Chain A
Amino acid sequence: MSEYKFTEPVLTVKDLVVKFNLRGQVLTAIRGISMDLYKGESLAIVGESGSGKSVFTKTFMGLLDNNGWIDSGAIEYGGYDLTAFKTERDWLKLRGKRIAMVFQDPMTSLNPLKTVGKQVQEAFTLHNKVSKEEARRRTIQLLDDVGIPEPERRYKQYPHEFSGGMRQRVVIAIAMACVPEILICDEPTTALDVTIQAQILELLKQLQARYGLTVIYITHDLGVVANVADRIAVMYAGDIIEIGRSEEVFYDPRHPYTWALLSSLPQLGVKGEDLLAIQGTPPNLFQEIRGDAFAPRNPQALKADFVARPPYFEVSPTHKARTWLLDPRAPDLAPPAHIRHLRTLRRGGIEHAT
């Protein structure tokens, strides 16, 4: 196995716990996540709705809703501990400048009453002291960079005069205005149609290569993941239960939840057979979760899964998973047939191709 080429951590999360207050009840949205984000990589965070993907990354920018707070843990970035940031002033040092975000729905994430040019320019002038002329010139350059044709004319237009894909390019231009170090893409293609999706992903890849960005993709679309990610983190019930290089997670998944997730991919199903669906519902985050959060939905759960929360077990230096199955004492439980089949696919040469 070749060495993972990204090794320098740019952002480190330690035992992060995020809680929300909802109608007087306290919900634990992130249950003690630790991970490193490496400079220049693209990390995909996958998981079902409500698994905490967005909330997790919002803590990097101080964008949690008012009823949410970081209960414990640390986020180390650029010499700061982001969990110690309290005031808006603190965050303005980073937001848009060093960490930027691309949101899900380009139809609603632009201000309908301001010209596209003004909105991109605002992001630029907020962090750069330049003359108006210069800002305008740079803005038009930015629009051009993200692939908007006729940027001079488009500069003066309003968001409603743009198509969905073009708007997402504008949103990306806003995020790129100050050439951030980390770009968080929160389901950047979910609201777009398939042909446009590919274009936007291609654009993001180009920008990443050009500026050496570190990109986090939040998605539940495994197709997107396969397309862009160097590493994958699988989230379930507010925790990363498996993390590893893409080919490791795709071809050699170890956590039963990852198995189940991949098994529900239509591409892996057998024609004529019912598509696998994961039984049950995600756990109630208002209550304390004991053991492995996925155990109640896992028909092959071990006794230990209900008793104690599994630690991370290393599968390889770059691949680890939180499941008792990796404990030496655990029975040798085979993954479902089609997951085993994936392993053979990998041996068949895909690894050489990468």
Chain B
Amino acid sequence: MFKYVGKRLLASTVTLFIILTTVFVLMRQMPIEGYFDNFDKVDQAVINAKLDQLGLRDTMPVQLKNFYTGLLRGDLGVSNRYRTGAPIAEIIASKAPISIQMGLLSMAVSLLLGIPLGAKMARSKSKLWDKLGTGFIVFINAVPAAVYYIYLQSFGSKALDIPMLFNPASPLSWVLPVFSMSLGSIAYYAMWLRRYMVDELNKDYVKLARAKGVPGQDITMKHVFRNAFVPMIQYIPSSLLFTISGSIYIESLYSIPGMGGLLVDVITRQDNTMVQALVMLYASIGIIGMLLGDLLMVLIDPRISFAKREGVR
């Protein structure tokens, strides 16, 4: 087990190193305008001085070395166009918490609603609940999110008499954005849980459980639910971590000062250093999420063992 964890950690570190290096080298190929907020107005001498100061005229190995030593100290570089002169780590630190809070809340809501819905649908397969649930899932997947987001915002705020825009100080104003953000995930969790549970319910061990006299309720809860949840558990850590990236649409709709849309923003503004930092951040989250997901699977599913098999086979 520890050996496996060690191996996976090492492999993930190597992957991360390759990605970071690739991103760094690619970003160096971008036009140098991306390091200036007033490129057209300054003369060559100033440009050269700034490039020297940023170390952009060093050889690639030296640049890489400087980048990694900075990274280890938590230095992601400085924004040059998005918010001139501000350290990127600070920009992220000011925006991420609100996105993470919203994301965690909406994840909790979607798990709390999506999982019971999926379980209920599986248990009443092709009956009323299943059909209602399927209708909901199809609606959420087929109708562009923008449509029902706007409806929710305008009608929801009117019907419940709550603010249309986000205000960190008023908890009521959190309700609509969090709920809107959850809708997609509710449908997602319900759909997959239903599907996995229906698969499990048709398996032989369920027949045996029935034959040995386990009541139906206990079969779904004690046997089927856990087994059906295993394939989903893998994606939970990634979902948790990615709450940091926020939701572009919801955040702009409710004017939430979060991370949503930040990457798009800095790309359009050609803030090279920030693009680099954000891409690297999301890549790292992706890798860490996958790593944690795999480790969680090992913990929960005894069949997945990466050590040498012992016992009779």
**A residues bordering B, Cβ < 8 Å?**
61, 63, 88, 92, 94-97, 100-101, 103, 105, 108-114, 122-123, 126-127, 157-158, 160-163, 166, 171, 174-175, 177
- Closest 7 A/B residue pairs (Cβ): A96-B213, A96-B212, A95-B213, A108-B204, A161-B311, A123-B212, A101-B211
A122 to B214, CA, bound (A): 8
* Residues from chain A with Cβ under 8 Å of B295 in the complex: none
Interface size class of B (residues with CB under 8 A): 20 to 34
- A174 is contacted by which of B207, B208, B230 (Cβ under 8 Å)? B208
Interchain nearest-CB distance for B215 vs A (Å): 6
* Residues from chain A with Cβ under 8 Å of B123 in the complex: none
The contact string, 1 if C-beta is below 8 Å from chain A, for chain B 193-204, is 000000000011
List 21 interface pairs A-B (beta carbons < 8 Å), by A numbering. A61-B211, A88-B215, A92-B213, A96-B211, A96-B212, A101-B211, A103-B207, A103-B208, A108-B204, A110-B205, A112-B205, A113-B227, A113-B230, A114-B223, A127-B213, A157-B311, A158-B303, A161-B313, A163-B313, A166-B312, A175-B211
Return the chain B residue nearest A175 by Cβ.
B212
**B residues bordering A, Cβ < 8 Å?**
203-205, 207-216, 222-223, 226-227, 230, 300-303, 310-313
- B211 is contacted by which of A95, A108, A114, A127 (Cβ under 8 Å)? A95
Let me know if A160 and B302 touch, CB within 8 A: yes
* Residues from chain B with Cβ under 8 Å of A175 in the complex: 211-212
Let me know if B211 and A103 touch, CB within 8 A: yes
- B213 is contacted by which of A97, A108, A110, A111 (Cβ under 8 Å)? A97
* Residues from chain B with Cβ under 8 Å of A63 in the complex: 207, 210-211
Asked whether A109 and B207 contact (CB < 8 A) given A157-B311, A158-B302, A161-B312, the answer is yes
Let me know if A109 and B301 touch, CB within 8 A: no
Return the chain A residue nearest B209 by Cβ.
A111
Let me know if A105 and B301 touch, CB within 8 A: no
Let me know if B205 and A95 touch, CB within 8 A: no
* Residues from chain A with Cβ under 8 Å of B207 in the complex: 63, 103, 109
Let me know if A105 and B204 touch, CB within 8 A: yes
* Residues from chain A with Cβ under 8 Å of B204 in the complex: 103, 105, 108-109
* Residues from chain B with Cβ under 8 Å of A177 in the complex: 212
